[in-house]
Structure 1
C-alpha cells in the first residue's frame, strides 16, 4: 500500500484536470473496486472543471490554488447517467450559464466514448453576511478513539477485499463510529451511520479544494444507512448491487477537509430498487458545514 502522503498527492493529481480548450478539460480515471469509475471521482472532477471557469479564473495547479475574492461553491446537483469506464479519460465540458453579482452558475457534462456519462449543475456565491442559525450537532465518539481503516477492515472482510478497500481510500483517514454494514450482515439496525473523515495530509488553503475533497468522500459511505436497515453488507461482499443515481450537496459554512469532519448519515426510505440517503457534515467544533442527499440503485441479486 502506498504511503499516506503519496496517496494524497496521487489523489490531488487525479483531480487536477488538464485544460484542452476554453471550458473543456480532460481528467484521468483509475481502477476501482467495481468495473466502473467511482462516482465521487467524477463529481469531484466536475466541480474542479466548474470552479476553473469562475472569474477570476483559477490557473491549472496540482493544488487548485485560487485568488482571493473568487466566488465559492454553495451547492451542486448531479446525475449519474451511465457507468464510467475506468480505463478511459473523461472529458468535461463546462457551460457558463450565468455570471451574476452574487451568484455564478455552471453546468458540466462528463463525456466518455462520445456520450455523456454524468452531468452536474453547480452554483457559486461571493461571501456575504446574513441570518445565521443551525441545528445542534449530534453526539459522536472522538475520532481518535475509533479504529483506522487498516485496523477495522480486515476484521470484517476477506483479506483481498480489505486490502483493496484500504488502498482505494489511502488518501483519506475514514473511521466508522459503529460497525459498518459489511460487519453486521444479517442484523437489522437503525438506518443511521456516522463516519469521521479527513485527508491524510495537509491541503492548500483554496476553499474549492476542500469542497472538491468533501465531494469525493461524500459518495463513499452515504448509502450505508440503507443497508443497515436490511442487514445487508453491500457491494463489498456482493449481497446487493448498487450505484449512485443522483447527488446533491449544499455548502453552508467554511470547512477544511484536512481536519476532522463528522459525516452523520441516515436513510428515510428505500423502495422500488432505490435507496435514499441524507446526511450532514459537521466540523469538529460543531459547525454545520454541508448537507447531502443521494439516491442510488439498491438491488438484491437474483
Structure 2
C-alpha cells in the first residue's frame, strides 16, 4: 500500500470522543487549506459510525462554510435526525477553532429492489492507454501548475481522458472526463469505499465550469473555492478499481460555476452522481 493511501486511511479513521462526537486529523500536504473532499469523507465516516451496517449511504448534501485549517484537527458533531423503518438521517457539523467550517446532511436506506435505469457510459479511451501522473509531470505542453497537480504523489490516481484544454488554452465545451481510483488496494469495507469515493468526488469538478472561458482553477487570476457539494450513491463500487468521472457544467454566473458529474465503473454501471457549485471569481474584480 502506498504511503499516500496509508495516510488517507489514517485520516478517515476518526477518533471517537463521545457517542456522537468524533475528531479527525489532516495529512501533511503543505496546503494552505484543507481539501474539501477530505472534510466530506470524514463527515461521512462520522455519520456512518452512528448508523447500523445494513443501511448504506444513498446521498449527502453539504455546504463548505469556512476554509479548513490544515494545522488543526477537525471535530465532527453528529446529530441523529431520524431513524425510520427504511431511512436514517444524520446531520454533521465540522468544527475548528470554535466555528463551523462545514455542514452536511447524510441519508441512509435499507437495501431494496425497485425500478432501475441509467444513461450509457461515455465512449472514452481506457485508462491503461492514458498518461499517468509521472508522465503528466514531465509533459512540457501543459502549464507547470497543472503538471504539478496531476503529478504529485496522492492517494487517488488520476488519468484525464483529454488534456487539450490545458495544452492549447482554447475555450471549448464545458465537459471533462477523468479516470480515477485509489492508488492501492483498499480493505473490503463497503463503507470505506464510499468514503474514499466521496473524497475523490471533489477532484477536478469545479474546474470544468471554467472550460468555456479558457480558464482554470490553476490560473493566478482566478479565485476558486467549493461552496456546496451533493453526492448520490446508486450502486456499490470499489474505489480501488478504475472509475470514469464524466463531468460537465451547464451554467455559470454571478461569480459562481455549477458542475455535475457521473461516476461509472468499468462495466458501465452508473455508481454515483455529483453536483457542486463553487466560487469562480476573477481576481481584481
Q: TM-score, with normalisation over the residues of structure 1?
A: 0.89
Give the Cα separation in 2 of the matches to 1:24 and 1:261.
32
Deviation, 1:233, is 2.7
- Alignment of structure 1 residues 189-204 onto 2, 5 Å: 189-204=172-187
- Residue 266 (structure 2) aligns with: 284
- Residue 300 (structure 1) aligns with: 282
Give the Cα separation in 2 of the matches to 1:223 and 1:293.
10
Structure 2 unaligned segments of length 5 or more: list them.
none
- Alignment of structure 1 residues 27-176 onto 2, 5 Å: 27-32=24-29, 34-55=31-52, 70-155=54-139, 156-158=142-144, 162-163=147-148, 166-167=151-152, 170-176=154-160
CA offsets per residue over residues 63-88 of structure 1, 9 Å max, x none?
A: xxxxxx52100000000001111111
Deviation, 1:296, is 0.2
CA RMSD for the aligned pairs?
Answer: 1.7
Deviation, 1:154, is 3.6
Deviation, 1:275, is 0.2
CA offsets per residue over residues 183-211 of structure 1, 9 Å max, x none?
A: 343x1011000000111111122211111
Give the Cα separation in 1 of the matches to 2:197 and 2:240.
10
Q: Give the match's secondary structure for 1:219.
A: coil
> Do the aligned residues in 2 keep the contact of 1:31 with 1:37 (CA within 8 Å)?
no
> Do the aligned residues in 2 keep the contact of 1:276 with 1:294 (CA within 8 Å)?
yes
1:244 aligns with 2:226: yes
CA offsets per residue over residues 75-131 of structure 1, 9 Å max, x none?
A: 000000011111111000000111122111100000000010000100011111111
> Do the aligned residues in 2 keep the contact of 1:266 with 1:277 (CA within 8 Å)?
yes
- Alignment of structure 1 residues 253-272 onto 2, 5 Å: 253-272=235-254
Q: Give the match's secondary structure for 2:195.
A: helix
Give the Cα separation in 2 of the matches to 1:261 and 1:253.
13
> Do the aligned residues in 2 keep the contact of 1:222 with 1:278 (CA within 8 Å)?
yes
Q: Give the match's secondary structure for 1:54.
A: coil
Give the Cα separation in 2 of the matches to 1:115 and 1:180.
41
Q: Give the match's secondary structure for 2:7.
A: helix
- Residue 219 (structure 1) aligns with: 202
How many pairs were matched up?
A: 282
- Residue 20 (structure 1) aligns with: 17
> Do the aligned residues in 1 keep the contact of 2:130 with 2:160 (CA within 8 Å)?
yes
CA offsets per residue over residues 157-203 of structure 1, 9 Å max, x none?
A: 337x7446533x52111100001644343x10110000001111111
- Residue 60 (structure 1) aligns with: none
Structure 1 unaligned segments of length 5 or more: list them.
56-68
Of 4, 7, 12, which aligns to 1:10?
7
Give the Cα separation in 2 of the matches to 1:147 and 1:183.
14
- Residue 212 (structure 2) aligns with: 229
Give the Cα separation in 1 of the matches to 2:99 and 2:138.
39
Q: Give the match's secondary structure for 2:237.
A: coil
